[in-house]
Amino acid sequence: MTHPGEITRRQMLRRLGMTAFVAGPGAGLLSACATGGTGGEPSAAPSITASASSKNPFGVDPKKPLEVVIFGGGYGDAYAKDVHEALYKKEFPGVTVKHDATQQIGTQLRPRFVSGDVPDVLNNSGPESMDLAALAAEGHLADLSVLFDAPSIDDPAKKVRDTVTPAVIDNAKIDGKDLVLNYTVSHRALWYNAKLFASKGWTLPKTWAEFTALGDKAKQEGILLFAYPGLKGPYYQLWNVLYTAAKIGGNQVIIDIDNLVDNAWNAEPMKQAVAAWVDIQAKYGDKAYFGLDHTQTQIKQLQNKLLFYPVGSWIENEMAKDKPDDFEYAIAPLPDVTSADKMPYGAIQVGVGENFVVAAKGKNPQGGLEYLRIMLSKEGARGFTEKTENLTVVNGAADGLDLPAGLRSAAKAQDAAGQNIITDARFEGWYKELFDYGTQQINVVMAGRVTPEKFCADMQKKADQIKKDDAVAKQTRSQ
């Protein structure tokens, strides 16, 4: 019998996406081994060895190998190999660092977490990112409070937590513990080609009427107003709808969704946001894009076949090798959807992202903590920006760098937004089952197969199921 709050092994494996292994040919193997600890053990800080010092605060064994797995997406993995791992090797000469980069985080890592053979550092990102709340519930994530309280490499008189943007600490928590490092600052909005707009004499639309009027102009020239990748990347549009709802009704719309508040998905701003974008898709979109992945869609934009693309500031680096000279990435705030939007024109989403975790049950968790501390040094963060043309959460690390046009545009938009910053949706990491469901359903509603009201009702039904599921640890936020 399972009592309220208990998590059975089958429930946990379901949340980790491993039920196929349990039900299938591997059932015998899994019945013979646990997930590196048979469930329910709270995540804890790795033990600090007796050799700890001010320079080596976690007591890293300088000869112990370290394994790092990186999501090989928009940021690539050169920043890890050439910067962070190189700095780690410099700190511990002769140490072996095993490096792996993959876009199939879940496919490759789930079996390893089940067997207990885990990497020390994991960059958990991309469409196959793992359910961090589920991993935390199994005790797989090292407590990072010791990292945040450790002396900064740049100024040992300061703690690491005092050298990063406060959003890092706010977003680190699962069940009240600091378990996740969000490393990048991203700007998610509508991205466009500034050179195309300049050549056409077009200005950015500030109202929805101006937005659709521009869509009519673009259509006459064979250009789509808007598109998103329906095959790999529909969550870009889910983000876009959520941020639009916050633009209409304020950040409380997203906060209520994150907190599983009753009928949060059925709130009027959410319905208005979905309806507005469904209308745009119907009038100015192309259903062929539902069959394209993110790279194919982004190539279409580089060919000026679509104007606005809902994505984050990593896009510039991701497409750097394909970007023609007549294309210049720039950020466009969401137009006013109604005349009574709670957030003014110019509000944009600025958040922290790109998750990194240390495996509590890895072979070298102390080394994993030190690797993250190196990442959070100015040298480590500056190197990341130079390699990826994206900003990190480390204060002042990019000072003096010659930033690319898109990043300059994002920084300018952030300055113009002031306090009008759209919050990030945290249920993506808290309740991955809900986020994955939304990622599927956004295609359904955007294709016109269900109404916006039905989409919101279905999302609410899913949220209600998760709220009632005692096996799912509940999280809360106040802002």
pLDDT at residue 354 greater than cutoff 70: yes
Which CATH number describes the domain made up of 11-185+352-402? 3.40.190.10
Q: Residues 61, 154: contact at Cβ < 8 Å?
A: no
Burial tier of 107 (Cβ tally within 10 Å: 0-12, 13-18, 19+): exposed
pLDDT in tens, 274-289: 999 999 999 999 999 9
Fold of 187-350+425-468: D-Maltodextrin-Binding Protein; domain 2 (3.40.190)
Q: Is the pLDDT of residue 40 over 50?
A: no
Q: What is the pLDDT of residues 236-256, one digit of tens each?
A: 999 999 999 999 999 999 999
Percent of the chain with pLDDT over 90: 81
pTM: 0.79
Residue 185 pairs with which residues in a beta bridge?
352, 391
- Burial of 129 (C-beta count, 10 Å sphere; 0-12/13-18/19+): buried
For residues 5-13, average pLDDT: 36
The per-residue pLDDT of the chain, averaged, comes to: 90
pLDDT at 73 over 80: yes
The pLDDT tens digits for 419-478 are: 899 999 999 989 999 999 999 999 999 999 999 999 999 999 999 999 999 999 899 998
Tokens encoding 276: 């507005």
Q: What is the three-class DSSP state of 479?
A: coil
Q: Would you state the pLDDT for residue 48?
A: 66
Domain with CATH 3.40.190.10 in the chain: 11-185+352-402, 187-350+425-468
Which residue intervals of 303-352 are DSSP H helices? Answer: 315-318
Q: Rounded to whole angstroms, how far apart are CA atoms 455 and 404?
A: 38
Q: Residue 32 pLDDT > 80, yes or no? A: no
Give pLDDT tens digits for 360-417: 999 999 999 999 999 999 999 999 999 998 899 999 899 889 999 999 999 999 989 9
Per-residue pLDDT tens over the stretch 184-232: 998 999 999 999 999 999 999 999 999 999 999 999 999 999 999 999 8
